[in-house]
Amino acid sequence: SQTIHQWPATLVQPVGSPLSLECTVEGTSNPNLYWYRQAAGRGLQLLFYSVGIGQISSEVPQNLSASRPQDRQFILSSKKLLLSDSGFYLCAWSDRGSPSDTQYFGPGTRLTVL
């Protein structure tokens, strides 16, 4: 069965510090991978998606970036965090062969920028 991991679970960072969040998927090959942000009481905002190694599409201009160094690894980064970067970050995967793009989510990382 497929499993998706995210770490860390919780992170408190000062403004201006760098960020690296990691997501890995097990039990599947060639997944589509996604990064979302969910602000408190708000819906899901798609940040990045990837259909393959080194292939990243950005949905929202911001100071965040994403990379996919391996097939089942997806990393979200920032060089300098802003207060507005606080939120709940979710990684998700979908089966590239699925016609529905049904996505399966990880446990999330709660980021607080002070």
In the complex, what is the shortest distance from the CB of residue 100 to another protein, in angstroms, rounded to a whole number? Answer: 4
- Eight-class DSSP state of 85: G
Given its phi and psi angles, is residue 54 left (phi above 0), alpha (psi -120 to 50 degrees) or beta? left
Does 5 interact with another protein (rule: CB under 8 A)? no
Does 77 interact with another protein (rule: CB under 8 A)? no
Does 107 interact with another protein (rule: CB under 8 A)? yes
Is the Cβ of residue 65 or residue 105 nearer to another protein in the bound state?
105
In the complex, what is the shortest distance from the CB of residue 18 to another protein, in angstroms, rounded to a whole number? Answer: 24
Is the Cβ of residue 90 or residue 113 nearer to another protein in the bound state?
90
Does 90 interact with another protein (rule: CB under 8 A)? yes
Q: How many CA atoms lie within 13 A of 94 on its CB side?
A: 14
Non-local (6+) Cβ contacts of 92 within 8 A are 4, 33, 34, 36, 103, 104, 105, 106
Q: How many CA atoms lie within 13 A of 98 on its CB side?
A: 14
In the complex, what is the shortest distance from the CB of residue 91 to another protein, in angstroms, rounded to a whole number? Answer: 8
Six token digits for residue 54: 């080194």
Residues engaged in binding another protein (CB under 8 A): 6, 32, 34, 42-44, 46, 49-51, 57, 59, 88, 90, 94, 96, 98-108, 110
